[in-house]
Structure 1
């Protein structure tokens, strides 16, 4: 299995493109990075998507484009880890390795527009708008192609992304976790796993610092440097993220949801929710409610 953080995509160094289908109960749930661009279409499944200072969700139909060495994790929701369920997590991913192009990316005129994607290093984007369906259809076509046709489809995909840059919404901030060493990446992964596993319980700064084998003071500096958020801000983001899911997918009352995601005070939950989402939980439910 690939090492934590410095994830190695199984491909020949001479391959410019590699297609991968993930089909399992849940997605690979370790924070990792690799020196390839990544275009991922989520076909089935849902959960939390983390990259740098970004905390959000993914669901079927989403399209993500990640720059080289962008640390990220698609963490499936807890129910997907239950072996007794019949839930599936399915995703199609295309990896682009510009290193395989050698000098061509610098010297061939037709490749010059590709160089802009090197500036995406460490960043992640979500594709929205009219081009989303076109990209999903083209990725599906890529899955059925091979040889020269596969190369043509790959170039076509990059051409689409180049033309619709305004529909690529940057999710994370500046490169806050780019170039992590394996030791540092392993530590950050332990912290993220701990927070994800315990986000709905009372989590103390002491416990998080212990997970990272750091003092509280050192941990606060370490965490803020790599996520651009304080420890409490990040935990609140994870909890409100879970609350949004419950508001959309269940008929639980707002006070019940507040308690479920770790808040004992309803007014405090409402205040934190509005500060992060921009609207109160009741209004959020009315706008986005999607019962399942």
Structure 2
């Protein structure tokens, strides 16, 4: 898997579109951001996607569009990090560097509509429906094209995204400013700690120490950047892990609750219903009956 520089990606000032294949046991697991727009198709692997204030599941067949400088991480599930695991992850990504087009973005008439769309579109989007199918076909062939064909295909993909009415915005809170490198690294350390330790008891003192902040300063820092309190975010992480186990295993609900870090079954039931809109039992029954993908 190609390594991504912390909080940036390798950048060429002359490359408008770059195609990248991420193939390995797990996806890059550090929170990062970059000025390029990103379009990612997940072909293999599953886990939790954290981007801005959004936390949700990803899996094969999912496609996501990120506008510039959206902090994000595709955190593969724990089994993908186990030394003996034979699980694999595979994703196809396009990075669009609009700055590489220079003045043409604002001076060339044909780019006016695209420029307006870019200025109005901010956040992380799930790409759905027929447009996703069109773009998926282009991505699967993208490594085989070069030169002008590469440029035309990239512009065609952007046109499909621009006219699509099936871009589903995942963020509720759109950041008013980009993370500094220091803020990004701090948030990355916090998210890595939470996502890897969520099955254990985590105190506010512990997570504040990871951020090298006082409890009060950490609470402000975390709420401003995620729109959630630490307790709310941790409950959401644990509920998403419980969703996976409810769908993929036959473990009793009580065992799943404790395995995901809930020390109290009644609290687990309340938190699950608040986040998912149904009880754990109802969720398990629904996905078993309909074969519904939970993420």
Quickly name the TM-score band, shorter chain normalised: over 0.9
Structure 1 counterpart of 2:270: 271
Other-structure match for 1:107: 107
The answer (yes or no) to whether the contact 1:67–1:118 under 8 Å persists in 2 is no
> Quick one: distance in 1 between partners of 2:195 and 2:118?
31
SS at match of 2:129: coil
The structure-2 alpha-carbon separation of the partners of 1:191 and 1:132, relative to structure 1 and needing over 3 Å to count, comes to same
In the other structure, the counterpart of 2:41 is 41
TM superposition shift of 1:178: 4.2
Q: Distance in 2 between matches of 1:185 and 1:159?
A: 31
**Distance of aligned partners of 1:272 and 1:177 in 2 relative to their CA distance in 1, 3 Å threshold:** farther
Asked whether the equivalents of residues 36 and 68 of structure 1 are also in contact (C-alpha less than 8 Å), the reply is: yes
1:11–1:220 distance in 2 versus 1, CA, 3 Å:
closer
- Deviation per residue, 1:130-180 (Å, 9 max, x gap): 32222111111222211111111111100110111x211111223238411
**What is the Cα deviation at residue 265 of structure 1?**
2.0
Q: Name the count of aligned residue pairs.
A: 287
Question: In 1, distance between residues paired with 2:125 and 2:186?
Answer: 25
The 8 Å contact of residues 28 and 75 in structure 1, kept in 2 or not, is answered as yes
Q: Secondary structure at the match of 1:236?
A: helix
Identify the residue that residue 170 of structure 1 maps to in structure 2: 169
Q: Contact conserved, 1:11 with 1:18, CA < 8 A, in 2?
A: no
Q: Please, what TM-score do these two structures have when normalized by structure 2? A: 0.93
Tell me what 1:249 maps to. Answer: 248
Residues 177 and 266 (structure 1), Cα distance of their counterparts in 2 relative to 1, 3 Å cut: farther
Q: Deviations over 1:187-240 (max 9, x none)?
A: 111111110111111100010111111111111111101110001000000000
- Aligned mates of 1:192, 1:133 — CA distance in 2: 32
Contact 1:48 / 1:74 at 8 angstroms: preserved in 2?
yes
Q: 1:229 — aligned with what?
A: 228
Q: Which residues of structure 1 form unaligned runs of 5+?
A: none
Aligned to 1:4: 6
**Structure 2 unmatched ranges of 5 or more:** none
Q: Give TM-score scaled by structure 1 length.
A: 0.94
Structure 2 Cα separation of the partners of residues 27 and 96 of structure 1: 20
Question: 1:9-63: per-residue Cα shift (whole Å, max 9, x none)?
Answer: x342111100000011111100000000000000100011001211101101100
Tell me the secondary structure at the aligned position of residue 32 of structure 1: coil
Q: Per the alignment, in what secondary structure is the counterpart of residue 33 of structure 1? A: coil
The residue matched to 2:251 in structure 1 has which SS? coil
**Does the 8 A contact of 1:177 with 1:227 survive in 2?**
no
Query: In the aligned structure 2, how far is the partner of 1:108 from the partner of 1:217?
Result: 50
1:247, distance to aligned residue in structure 2 (A) = 1.0
Q: Is the 8 A contact 2:173 2:226 kept in 1?
A: no
Q: Secondary structure at the match of 1:38?
A: strand
